[in-house]
Structure 1
C-alpha cells in the first residue's frame, strides 16, 4: 500500500502557488544571499554546493553565477524545469535532481549545503524533518558547512500578522495566518482569485522550532560538530532585533 502524498508533493499546488510565493522581491534578494552563503561557508570557486529543496533555482542560479559547482534537489519536477530554464537564460550549468531530500544520497560529497527561504518544517512528523537534516549531513564532506534559513518560533512571534490581501501574478491573493497548537506551528491559508472569479484555496501548517531546539537537533541528533545561530545573513546576534533565523552548522 503506497503512502499518501503530503501536500508539498502535489505538483498542481506549486503550479498555482509558485508564482505567488516566489515573487520579484525574492528574486532580487537572491544574489546577495548567495554571496553571503559563500562567505559564511568560506567557499572558493569550483566548490561543490548542494541546494536542498532548490525549488525554481533562485539561489542555485546565483551560486552558479558566483562560480560554484551546484546541485539542486527538489521533489517538484515543474520547479526543476523552471530552474533549468533560468540557468540556461543566465548561461550557467546546474545539476538538477528530482528526489525527496528525506532519502537523497549522492556519491560525491559536497563542500556546503544550503536550505534558504523557509522551505523547512513542512513534513507531517518531526522524524521526517530530521531525516532531511541527517541526509544533508551524510552528503557533506568532513568539515563541510550547512546553512539553514527559515522561520523560527521566535521570528514567527516577532513578525506575526493575521493576514493581508494583495495583487500578484494576475491574481488577487488573500492570506490568513493563525497559530497551530502552543506555537508549535504556523497555519497559513492562501486564497487565489483569478480575474474570471475562479478561486483556489489551500491551507498548510509549517512546524515551528525554536532556534535552540533546531541547533540542538543538528548537533545531538544529526551529528554536526557545531551549529551557530544568527539573526541574519550578516551574522547579527540572534536576539530581539533578529531579522530571520540563520543557522551555520559544520560537519
Structure 2
C-alpha cells in the first residue's frame, strides 16, 4: 500500500465539504458543456469497457449510476443491454440525460435525488460512481453516501468508485509548490482549474470563459489514501476492497490522476 512521506508537510482541511450552493455552481450547464467536449464517443467507449470489466457485469444485471451526471455512462450501459437507474441531484443533468436517452431510443430510469438521503431497497448488482463524483461533501456525508449505496446492492453486489489518485496530487504539489493548473477549452471558450493540494483535500479555483462571459467559483475534493478508502468501505459494509489504475487492470500509478476503487459485498 503506497505511503506518502510528505503528506504531513501539507496543511489539512479534511472535513471542509462543499455547500449545496457551491455544488450547484460547480456542476451546472457550463460544466456539462466542457465535459461533453472532453468526453467524446471513443473516450466514453473506453470508460464503459473499464466499468464493465472492473464491475464484473454479467448479462441481465441491474446497475445504479449515481451520481449519473448528464448520463454518459448510464446511457452506454443501457445501450449494451443492461437495466440502468441513474440518479443525480442536478435537474439540469437529468433533463439532458433523459433527452439523450430518448434521442438514442434506449430506456434509462433517470431520477432527481441526493445520494446523502438515498433510500433504495436492495435491487442492484452494481453501483457506479464515475469521474471524480465522490468526496465533495463532508466526511460524515461521504460515509453516509457509501452506506446508502451499499444498502441498494443485492448480496454479492459491487460498488465501483472512480476517484482522484492521491499519489498524483501529492507529486504535483511538491513539483509545483503546491499549486497547479489544468485547462480545457474549445475555440474562445475555456475552463481553468487552479488547484491547491492540502494533506486531505484538493481545493480548486475555477475560471470559466464561455460566449464572452467570465465567472469564477470554488470547489474542493477529499483526498483519501488506499488505507482510508478501505476503512470507509468496510465501515459501510463491504467485505473486500481492491484498487486499480484509471486504465483498469493493474494498480494506480503515481503519474496518473485517477484511481478506481472496487468494493464487494
TM-score (norm 2): 0.83
What is the aligned partner in structure 2 of residue 66 from structure 1?
80
8 Å CA contact retained: 1:11, 1:78 = no
Distance 1:16 1:217 in 2: 32
Deviation at 1:190, TM superposition (A): 1.2
User: What SS does structure 1 have at the residue aligned with 2:208?
Assistant: strand
Cα distance change of structure 1 residues 27 and 129 upon mapping to structure 2, 3 Å threshold: farther
In the alignment of these two chains, the number of paired residues is: 243
| 2:208 counterpart of 1:207 | no
Deviating more after overlay: 171-180 vs 106-115: 171-180
What is the aligned partner in structure 1 of residue 28 from structure 2?
14
Residue 175 of structure 1, aligned match among 176, 183, 193: 193
Distance 1:88 1:53 in 2: 19
Deviation at 1:35, TM superposition (A): 2.5
Residue 112 of structure 2, aligned match among 78, 82, 98: 98
Distance 1:185 1:44 in 2: 36
Distance 1:242 1:5 in 2: 28
Deviating more after overlay: 138-147 vs 102-111: 102-111
Deviation at 1:8, TM superposition (A): 4.9
Deviating more after overlay: 154-163 vs 44-53: 154-163
1:71-90 aligned within 5 A:
71-90=85-104
Alpha-carbon RMSD: 2.3
Q: Identify unmatched segments of 5+ residues in structure 2.
A: 1-17, 174-178
Distance 2:38 2:252 in 1: 27
8 Å CA contact retained: 1:151, 1:245 = yes
- 1:21-69 per-position Cα deviation (integer Å, ceiling 9, x unaligned): 4433355322222222222233222211000110000100011111110
Cα distance change of structure 1 residues 27 and 105 upon mapping to structure 2, 3 Å threshold: farther
8 Å CA contact retained: 2:121, 2:151 = no
Deviation at 1:187, TM superposition (A): 1.2
| 2:204 counterpart of 1:188 | yes
Deviation at 1:159, TM superposition (A): 5.2
Q: Identify unmatched segments of 5+ residues in structure 1.
A: none
